[in-house]
Amino acid sequence: MVFFMKMPGVWVPLLAEVDLPSFSGFPLTGLLIWGAFAALAAAGIASALWMAREQQAFAIPHSTWWHLGIGATLTALVIGTSEFSLLTIPAIAVVLPALVGGFARERDKLVPPAERVLTRDGLKRLLQGIRNGPGSAKPAAASAEPPKSMLDRARDLGNSLQQFAGKKKAAVPKDGPAFTLLKKDGQPALGQLTDDDGEDMMSNNVKNLQDVIVAAMKAGATDVHIEPHEKQYFVRFRIDGVLKNASLLSMDDGKGVISSLKVAADMDISERRRPQDGTFAAIFETAKYDVRAASTPTSYGEKMVLRLLNSSGGVMKQGLGNIGLRPPILEQLREVIHKPYGMFLVTGPTGSGKTTTVYASLSEIDAQQHNITTIEDPVEYRLDGITQIAVNAAADVTFASILRSVLRQDPDVLLVGEIRDKETAEIACQAALTGHFVFTTLHANDTVATITRLLDLGLDPMLIQTAVTAVLGQRLARRLCERCKEPYPPPDELLKRLGVKPGVVQQIYREKGCDACGGTGYKGRLGLHELMVMNNDIRKLITADPAINELKAATRKAGTRSLQTDGLLKVLRGLTSVNEVNRVTT
Separation CA 17–CA 160 (nearest Å): 47
**Angle, CA of 157, 163 and 169, to the nearest 5°:** 90
Confidence of residue 286 (pLDDT cuts 50, 70, 90): confident
Kindly indicate the confidence band of residue 28, based on its pLDDT and cuts at 50, 70 and 90.
low
Q: Which 8-state DSSP code applies to residue 530?
A: E
In this predicted model, which residue has the larger pLDDT, 46 or 231?
Answer: 231
Closest residue by Cα to residue 149 from 179, 112, 103: 112
φ, ψ (nearest 5 deg) of residue 120: -60, -50
Contact 298, 251 (CB under 8 A): no
Q: Kindly state the average pLDDT of the residues 191-197.
A: 43
DSSP 8-state symbol, 396? T
User: Is the Cβ–Cβ distance between 17 and 85 less than 8 Å?
Assistant: no
pTM of the model: 0.66
User: Distance of CA 259 to CAs 192, 212, 235, 266, Å?
Assistant: 15, 14, 15, 11
CB-based contacts of 38, cutoff 8 Å, min separation 6: none
Sign of CA dihedral 28, 34, 38, 41: positive
Cβ burial 159-188 (10 Å sphere, 16+ → b, else e): bbbebeeeeeebebeeeeeebebbbbeeee
Q: Which pLDDT band holds residue 194 (cuts at 50, 70, 90)?
A: very low
Give the range among 85-99, 349-363, 450-464 with minimum mean pLDDT: 85-99
Query: What mean pLDDT do residues 65-78 have?
Result: 60
Contacts of 94 (CB under 8 A, 6+ apart): none
Q: Give the pLDDT score at 104.
A: 75
**For the ranges 64-68, 325-329, 547-551, which has the lowest average pLDDT?**
64-68
Contact 440, 359 (CB under 8 A): no
DSSP states of 263-310 as a string? HHTT--TT--SS-EEEEEEEEETTEEEEEEEEEEEETTEEEEEEEEEE
Residue-level length of the chain: 586
Among the residue ranges 26-40, 466-480, 501-515, the one predicted with the least confidence is: 26-40
Handedness of CA 77, 80, 82, 87 (dihedral sign): positive
Residue 136 has pLDDT above 50, yes or no: no
Interior/surface letters 252-283, b for 16+ CB within 10 angstroms, e for the rest: ebbbbbbbbbbbbbbbeeeeeeeebebbbbbe
- What is the per-residue pLDDT across 157-166, written as a single tens digit (0 to 9) for each? 334 333 433 4
Q: Of 56, 76, 58, 79, whose CA–CA distance to 66 is shortest?
A: 56
CA atoms within 13 A on the CB side of 360: 21
What are residue 468's DSSP bridge partners? 343
SS3 499: coil
Return the higher-pLDDT residue of 315 and 133: 315
**pLDDT, mean of residues 77-93:** 60
* Averaged confidence pLDDT in the chain: 78
Given a cut of 90, whether residue 88 has pLDDT beyond it is no
From 251, 273, 66, select the one nearest 164 (Cα to Cα): 66
Is the pLDDT at 313 greater than 70? The verdict is no
pLDDT given at position 57? 59
Q: How confident is the model at residue 578 (pLDDT cuts 50, 70, 90)?
A: very high
- Calculate the CA dihedral of residues 256, 246, 62, 169 and round it to 10 degrees: -50
Pairing mode of beta strands 468-480, 522-533? antiparallel
Q: What's the confidence (pLDDT) of residue 196?
A: 41
One-letter amino acid of 189: A
Please spell the DSSP secondary structure of 217-260, one letter per residue: HHHT-SEEEEEE-SSEEEEEEEETTEEEEEEEEEHHHHHHHHHH
562: Cβ contacts below 8 Å, ≥ 6 apart: 446, 530, 585
Lowest-pLDDT range of 36-45, 218-227, 263-272, 353-362: 36-45
Mark out the alpha helices in 346-468 (DSSP H runs).
354-362, 399-406, 422-433, 447-456, 461-467
Whether 386 and 366 have beta carbons less than 8 Å apart is answered as no
Give the model confidence (pLDDT) of 260-285 as tens digits.
999 898 899 888 889 998 888 888 87
**How do residues 363-396 score in pLDDT, each as one tens digit?**
888 888 899 999 988 777 777 788 988 887 777 7
279 phi-psi bin (left φ>0, alpha ψ -120 to 50, beta other)? beta
Q: How far apart are CA 475 and CA 446, in angstroms?
A: 10
Which among 578, 580, 564 has a CA at the least distance from the CA of 529? 564
pLDDT in tens, 89-129: 676 677 777 777 777 777 776 655 656 677 777 776 656 65
User: In this structure, what DSSP letter does residue 561 have?
Assistant: P
CA separation for the pair 40, 72 (Å, rounded): 9
**pLDDT confidence of residue 69:** 59
> Would you tell me how many other CB atoms lie within 10 Å of the CB of residue 414?
24
Percent of the chain with pLDDT over 90: 37
Please list the residues that pair with 193 across neighbouring strands: 201
User: Nearest-CA neighbor of 453 among 413, 486, 422, 416?
Assistant: 422
Query: What is the average per-residue pLDDT within 449-471?
Result: 94
Quick one: average pLDDT of 236-241?
92
Peptide bond into 90 cis (omega under 30): no
Q: Which contiguous run of DSSP H or E holds residue 415?
A: strand 413-416
Residue 467: φ, ψ to 5°: -90, -40
